[in-house]
């Protein structure tokens, strides 16, 4: 982001805005989007949709785009609470991961260490 705006915080603030919403507002947006558009929006997408609604209210006539960041199946508890039990179909490409062990690797905040870790993981996969 800094590179895009040549390190200028002021230039960045002119082009980028942010918004926050409560869990209740996010959950209400999930229900609203489903009712209006018959679309299952994930919680992250719901926050983006709320921000787009706010932006359009403050900037009538402005075009907006909301992009999803995850599949709703990643949030089964939230989605079932808001849309009902078994309301979200889990795609096969995601369902096959449910039996896999989750593995996390703690790394220091160092670009070189991260790059080396990625390179080693890539080499492992290609063996």
Query: Considering only CA atoms, which of 53, 17, 18, 19 is closest in space to residue 33?
Result: 53
Tell me: pLDDT of 116 over 90: yes
d(CA 119, CA 16): 33
8 A C-beta contact, residue 29 and residue 21: yes
pLDDT, mean of residues 107-127: 92
Taking the CA atoms of the chain, what radius of gyration do you get in angstroms? 19
* DSSP character at residue 73: G
**In the structure, what pLDDT confidence band is assigned to residue 55 with cuts at 50, 70 and 90?**
very high
d(CA 5, CA 26): 31
pLDDT band at residue 47 under the 50/70/90 scheme: very high
């Amino acid at each position: 982001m800094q590179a895009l705006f040549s390190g200028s915080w002021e230039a960045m603030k002119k082009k980028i805005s942010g918004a926050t919403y409560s869990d209740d507002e996010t959950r209400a947006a999930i229900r609203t989007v489903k009712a209006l558009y018959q679309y299952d929006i994930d919680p992250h997408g719901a926050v983006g949709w709320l921000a787009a609604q706010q932006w359009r209210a403050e900037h009538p006539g402005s075009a907006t785009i909301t992009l999803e960041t995850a599949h709703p199946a990643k949030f089964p508890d939230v989605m079932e609470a808001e849309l009902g039990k078994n309301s979200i179909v889990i795609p096969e490409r995601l369902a096959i991961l449910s039996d896999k062990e989750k593995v996390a690797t703690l790394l220091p905040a160092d670009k070189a260490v991260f790059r080396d870790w990625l390179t080693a993981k890539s080499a492992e996969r290609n063996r």
